[in-house]
């Protein structure tokens, strides 16, 4: 069996020797180069399964090699060696398409992990990664572009920020990136940053040592460490308090964590994906999100389109959801009438795919003879004004109280959908107390 081929580019003989010995012990065939010119000649002459390059070279910058490979040999994964603490350079390399980076002084164990992950990508046809069994439904151009983007970023270790409205499927996109990448055999650990109480957040994310605080009766591994060798997905990262943003920034820069009560940092090997429905750039401008963390987590940005921008996918989504619901309710074959389908195609879907799922699930329960018609959908009327606390108008003959209740119900339902039914967060979004929201939910008959 042919050994994988590696190209090592560094102008320091000692580093080339160290890298060469390490890679040869991992059963790789190693070729070395000391300049950009020599490296590009080797790359032109033959195929390599990976390239490892220093940043400072006599005839230029290691980023030049990254760019050359992306243009001429895009199937060859390239990792860069950076000076310790020079995260800005590492981020630039990742943005240009580098697979990963490692800092000097070189840690052999970390280097072995990086090489193993890189080899999973490879450059040959049999090792080309395929999207997993989980499907991202839709044949619209927007969804085709999203699938192409997922395939591209899956080949990297760069942090990815996924943004889009609530209910668009951001966590599904994160899962697909993980499953299609070199870390697919490792854990995928989703964390909802908005659902962890502030006082417990550091312990939950970083872990703690026994006796480090009242109630710490045993050592506990944090969520970040539990993602070792895999992917950590930070959902609703905009909800992280500022003091935790500082700590997360250090984790990304140093690739290590320090549990509460621990005296030393523990190295980690984790890829970080994040998501939010909020505008992070606007939060940075308002001083509510750290600019340095924004640039670290936003190395690659993916937008998940809202459902109203891909209404041509409605039929396929309805067919898939109806099929799943049919199996859940005892293999009854659910039918959706043409009139109901037309109504769904014309609906504005403020809650996106999650709302479509909820609408069909409710309709499947209410409909007669397993046939979903327009009346079973109970679609909410579109509210033109985003400030739903005051009605725009009241229809002739309509009671003011009824109109206000309809608008209030719509605002509460949207807030609940936006916060994934976290009533505490929904109350904050609506500017009311948790007790008031609970009372209104009960009074308005919201399930």
In 3D, which of 342, 354, 416, 351 has the Cα closest to residue 380? 351
The pair of structure tokens assigned to 252 is 């990304």
What topology does CATH give the domain 5-127? Answer: Rossmann fold (3.40.50)
What topology does CATH give the domain 141-303? Answer: Rossmann fold (3.40.50)
Establish whether domains 306-379 and 384-447 are of one fold: no
pLDDT 10s digits, 171-212: 999 999 999 888 888 999 999 998 888 888 988 999 888 877
User: Rg of the chain's alpha carbons, rounded to an integer?
Assistant: 26
CATH architecture of 384-447: Orthogonal Bundle (1.10)
The pair of structure tokens assigned to 130 is 């395929």
Q: Where are the domains of the chain?
A: 5-127, 141-303, 306-379, 384-447
Residue-level pLDDT, tens digit, the chain, 447 residues: 688 899 999 999 998 998 999 999 989 999 999 999 999 999 999 899 999 999 989 998 899 999 999 999 988 999 999 876 677 888 888 888 888 888 888 888 888 888 888 887 654 333 344 445 557 889 999 999 999 899 889 888 889 999 999 899 999 999 999 998 888 889 999 999 988 888 889 889 998 888 777 777 788 888 999 999 999 999 999 999 999 999 999 998 888 999 888 888 888 999 999 999 998 989 999 999 999 999 999 999 999 999 999 999 999 999 999 988 888 876 578 899 999 999 999 998 989 999 999 999 989 888 888 889 998 898 877 654 444 333 444 444 445 555 677 778 788 888 888 887 888 888 878 877 877 788 788 777 776
In 3D, which of 269, 312, 298, 336 has the Cα closest to residue 143? 312
Ramachandran angles phi, psi of 103, nearest 5°? -100, 150
In 3D, which of 259, 267, 357, 266 has the Cα closest to residue 307? 357
The CATH class for the domain spanning 306-379 reads: mainly alpha
Entry pTM: 0.74
Place of tokens 């009671």: 399
Distances (CA, A) of 178 to 6, 141, 295: 25, 23, 21
Task: Give yes or no for a contact between 178 and 162, defined as CB atoms under 8 angstroms apart.
Answer: no
Ramachandran angles phi, psi of 86, nearest 5°? -90, 70
- H runs (alpha helix) in 26-160: 36-45, 62-72, 87-96, 108-121, 141-154
Residue 129: predicted pLDDT: 45
d(CA 286, CA 135): 37
């Amino acid at each position: 069996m042919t050994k994988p081929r590696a190209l090592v580019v560094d102008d320091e003989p000692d580093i080339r020797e160290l890298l060469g010995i390490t890679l040869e012990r991992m059963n790789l065939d190693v070729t070395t180069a000391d300049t950009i010119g020599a490296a590009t000649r080797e790359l032109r002459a033959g195929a390599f399964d990976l390239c490892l390059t220093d940043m400072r070279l006599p005839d230029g910058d290691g980023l030049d090699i990254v760019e050359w490979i992306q243009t001429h040999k895009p199937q060859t994964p390239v990792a860069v060696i950076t000076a310790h603490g020079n995260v800005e350079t590492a981020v630039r390399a990742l943005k240009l398409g580098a697979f990963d980076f490692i800092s000097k002084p070189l840690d052999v164990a970390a280097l072995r992990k990086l090489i193993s992950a890189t080899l999973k990508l490879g450059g040959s046809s049999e090792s080309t990664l395929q999207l997993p069994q989980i499907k991202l439904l839709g044949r619209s151009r927007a969804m085709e572009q999203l699938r192409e983007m997922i395939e591209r970023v899956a080949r990297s270790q760069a942090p990815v920020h996924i943004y889009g409205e609530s209910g668009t499927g951001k966590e599904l996109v994160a899962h697909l990136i993980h499953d299609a990448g070199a870390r697919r055999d490792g854990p995928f650990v989703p964390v909802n940053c908005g659902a962890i109480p502030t006082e417990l957040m550091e312990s939950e994310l970083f872990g703690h040592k026994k006796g480090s605080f009242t109630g710490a009766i045993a050592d506990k591994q944090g969520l970040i460490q539990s993602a070792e060798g895999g992917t950590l997905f930070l959902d609703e990262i905009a909800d992280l308090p500022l003091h935790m943003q500082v700590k997360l920034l250090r984790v990304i820069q140093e690739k290590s964590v320090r549990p509460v009560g621990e005296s030393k940092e523990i190295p980690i090997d984790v890829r970080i994906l994040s998501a939010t429905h909020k505008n992070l750039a606007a939060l940075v401008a308002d001083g509510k999100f750290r600019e340095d963390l924004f640039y670290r987590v936003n190395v690659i940005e993916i937008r998940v389109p809202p459902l109203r921008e891909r209404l041509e996918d409605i039929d396929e989504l309805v067919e898939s959801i109806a099929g799943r619901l049919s199996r859940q309710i005892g293999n009854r074959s659910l039918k959706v009438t043409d009139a109901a389908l037309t109504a769904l195609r014309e609906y504005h879907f403020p809650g996106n795919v999650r709302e479509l799922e909820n609408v069909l699930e409710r309709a499947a329960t209410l409909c007669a003879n397993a046939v979903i018609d327009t009346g079973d959908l109970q679609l909410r009327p579109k509210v033109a004004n985003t400030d739903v606390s005051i009605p725009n108008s009241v229809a002739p003959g309509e009671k003011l109280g009824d109109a206000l209740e309809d608008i209030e119900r719509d605002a509460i339902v949207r807030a609940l959908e936006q916060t994934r039914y976290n009533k505490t967060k929904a109350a904050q979004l609506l500017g009311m107390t948790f007790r008031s929201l609970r009372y209104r939910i009960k009074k308005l008959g919201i399930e």
